[in-house]
Amino acid sequence: MKTESTNPEASREVEAGKKPVVLSGIRATGRMHLGNYLGAMRDFVTLSERDDRECFFFVADLHTLTTLPDADQIRRNVPEIVLSYLAAGIDPERSTIYTQSSVPETSELFWLFSNLMPVGELLKSPSYKEKAQMHPDNINAGLLNYPVLMAADILGPRAHFVPVGEDQYTHLENARDIARRFNNRYGDFFPLPQPLQQSGIRVPGLDGTGKMGKSDGNTLDLVDTPDEMWKKLAPAVTDPARKTRKDPGNPDICNIYTIHTYVSTEEELNWVREGCTTAGIGCLDCKKTLHKNISDLLAEYQERHRDLSARKGYAEEVLREGARRARKVIGETVREAQDRMGVAAYRGSS
């Protein structure tokens, strides 16, 4: 993405002594997996620990409706995602954790913003085209309007930085366009949000395809026990050249090796490379080491997850407090935006 001449660090609010705002969201489509952890959650935790940032993390349950009509699944997934934020180490006292639907002001902002978004741009959005192609029988208007709601998510707390993967950059560009149009028409108000480069870690799926993904059934889930993990890892696809234990392989094209590079030591990686290319070790040997390292990496997370899950109602409590804080900030934005757009006169004093 192009960098903007307007430096968000120098926006009015930041000049007025407010901390730059970081915001990110996750849809409630399924369980959190190793790809989410290495690619995003760990970065969120590091950001949330910085004293010079104000962080908002939310569950995009309204966005989830565009592809998941199963209400019970959404109900189950939402607190699970919150527990994973918490188990990863995000402190709900420092960061605001909430669900999108618990802040109705975001949906109000969505409507205001939809008047600043050309339909032609929405039709061109790569994620819209992809989803429309995948589900030609369910091209709902929510899919089309997805980027407008996402702009409301981001601009509601007037975020400066959005840690997301590259697949979300077009959406972020849309949010910046909306902010720019608003500022031009109604006076400077919104900071232009910038993407925040993440670890760049892209964990491949166990089926040997591109990416570990919630809806692809190719994941190691963060709450899987070591046994469950091994049951998934043992049959996972490796370099197809290794038909038998005696065939040498090429780690550079093996998805399992790629996962190794994120969790294993230099020494272990050398051992795998040497053993794989000479058929000195089998794929199961390689996977055993991987399994141990992933289990070790997730041990602390899993322990915290167990403790937090045992505290009945805790995730809900965090969400209620988060909603209260988020509504305050986002409510202020919406009232100011309505005022500037000429639709605030008879709102009353809520």
Out of 24, 145, 255, 289, which residue is the one contacting ligand TRP (CB under 6 A)?
24
String of DSSP letters for 43-55:
HHHHHHT-TT-EE
Determine the 3-state secondary structure of 186 from DSSP.
Answer: helix
DSSP 3-state of 225: coil
Cβ-in-10-Å burial (0-12, 13-18, 19+) of 350 comes to exposed
231 an active-site residue?
no
Given the residues 19, 124, 131, 292, the one annotated as active site: 131
Distance CA 127, CA 140 (A): 13
Tokens of 10: 């120098």
Report 158-177 residues binding ligand TRP (CB under 6 A). 162, 164, 168, 171
Kind and range of the H or E run holding 104: helix 104-114
Catalytic residue among 211, 232, 288, 292: 211
Task: Identify which range of 21-29, 89-97, 204-212, 290-298 contacts ligand TRP by CB under 6 A.
Answer: 21-29
Q: Is residue 150 involved in binding ligand TRP (CB under 6 A)?
A: yes
The single-letter DSSP state of residue 33 is B
The residue among 56 and 257 lying less far from ligand TRP, judged by its C-beta, is: 56
Is 18 labeled as catalytic in the residue annotation?
no
Residue closer to ligand TRP, measured from CB, 101 or 264? 101
Contacts with ligand TRP by CB under 6 A: the residue count is 13
Q: Return the axis-axis angle of helices 141-155 and 126-134, rounded to nearest 10°.
A: 150
211 assigned to active site = yes
DSSP state of 99: E
**DSSP code for 161:** E
* Min dist. Cβ of residue 249 to ligand TRP (A): 33
- The answer to whether 87 contacts ligand TRP (rule: CB under 6 A) is no
Answer yes or no whether residue 236 interacts with ligand TRP by CB under 6 A.
Answer: no
27 binds ligand TRP (CB under 6 A): yes
Angle between helix 71-88 and 314-341 (nearest 10):
100
Among 22, 60, 220, 254, binds ligand TRP (CB under 6 A): 60
What residues are annotated to the active site? 131, 211, 214
Binding site for ligand TRP (CB under 6 A): 23-25, 27, 60, 63, 150, 153-154, 162, 164, 168, 171
